[in-house]
Amino acid sequence: MEKFENVTYFNHPLIQHKISILRKKETGTNEFRHLVEEIAMLEGFEALNDLPLEEVEIETPIEKCKTPMISGRKLAIVPILRAGLGMVEGILALVPSAKIGHIGLYRDEETFEPHEYYCKLPSPIEERTIVVCDPMLATGGSAIDAITMIKKHGGRNIKFMCIIAAPEGVKALHEAHPDVQIYIGHLDRCLNEHAYICPGLGDAGDRIFGTK
Ligand SMILES: O=P(O)(O)OC[C@H]1O[C@H](OP(=O)(O)OP(=O)(O)O)[C@H](O)[C@@H]1O
Ligand SMILES: O=c1cc[nH]c(=O)[nH]1
Ligand SMILES: [Mg+2]
């Protein structure tokens, strides 16, 4: 797989271990949901390592002092529905004041093309750091369309966070949006004839919500 400057792969053992449990077909809905949330928090810890700080004056029980606090640009978390919803609480645990947008996309089962059914973003979107999340980056079509939509609304500072990616999706997303920082829990082997990630974990939305 070609190396791209804007792509971060997590090799932390805790993330890798949790992803392995996610993959198991016997992992049930409740455990699956908790794992997705925990992985999102661990990835978010790294993905948000460039949030700007400012020195703020506070008073400790001992004396007044200046101390760093997160400042300036505000955060928007934008899950791609449905499966991206599973990652929101994990990121919110790190930045509870973040605003949340939603982009509704589903992939046509035959053409694998994404179809939009919802878009609501917090304003002013152009002043926010935006974390788009979706556990799966397969062909890349959904992530590409979601980010195109956000840019049309004025979003500029965009990060994309996923749990499992296929090489095809990473390449396509990088080529379509080279300005977007991409965070990937694990890079899998390839896509199959149904555009599912191999070995993957199956349909993330169905596993999070217990559908199908
Ligand atoms: O990279 P792509 O080839 O576009 O595939 C990835 C998309 O497919 C899944 O969503 P799905 O269409 O299954 O919708 P759901 O989350 O509602 O189940 C997944 O959560 C991504 O959004
Ligand atoms: O493997 C895949 C591909 C797309 N969407 C999923 O949920 N899983
Ligand atoms: Mg699905």
Q: Tens-of-pLDDT digits for all 212 residues of the chain?
A: 778 889 999 999 999 999 999 999 999 999 999 999 999 999 999 999 999 899 999 999 999 999 999 986 689 999 999 999 999 999 999 999 999 999 999 989 899 999 999 999 999 999 999 999 999 999 999 999 999 999 999 999 999 999 999 999 999 999 999 999 999 999 999 999 999 999 999 999 999 999 98
Assess if residue 1 is contained within a domain.
no
Assess if residue 199 is contained within a domain.
yes
Q: Which residue range forms the structural domain that includes residue 191?
A: 7-209
Our answer on whether the CB atom of 203 is closer than 6 Å to any ligand 2 atom is yes
Distance in angstroms (rounded) separating the CA atoms of residues 68 and 114: 42
- How many domains does the chain contain in total? 1
Assess if residue 54 is contained within a domain.
yes
3-state secondary structure of 206: helix
Burial (CB count <10 Å: 0-12, 13-18, 19+), residue 19: buried
Which CATH number does the domain housing residue 57 bear?
3.40.50.2020
Q: If you measure from the C-alpha of residue 5 to the centroid of ligand 2, how many angstroms do you get, rounded to a whole number?
A: 25
- 206 Cα nearest atom in ligand 2: 7
User: What is the reported pTM?
Assistant: 0.95
Instruction: Give yes or no for a contact between 129 and 159, defined as CB atoms under 8 angstroms apart.
Output: yes
Distance in angstroms (rounded) separating the CA atoms of residues 66 and 79: 35
**Can you give the pLDDT at residue 4?**
87
Assess if residue 132 is contained within a domain.
yes
Closest CA to 112 of 191, 174, 171, 195: 195
**Can you give the pLDDT at residue 18?**
98
Assess if residue 2 is contained within a domain.
no
Q: Name the active-site residue from 29, 67, 111, 211.
A: 111
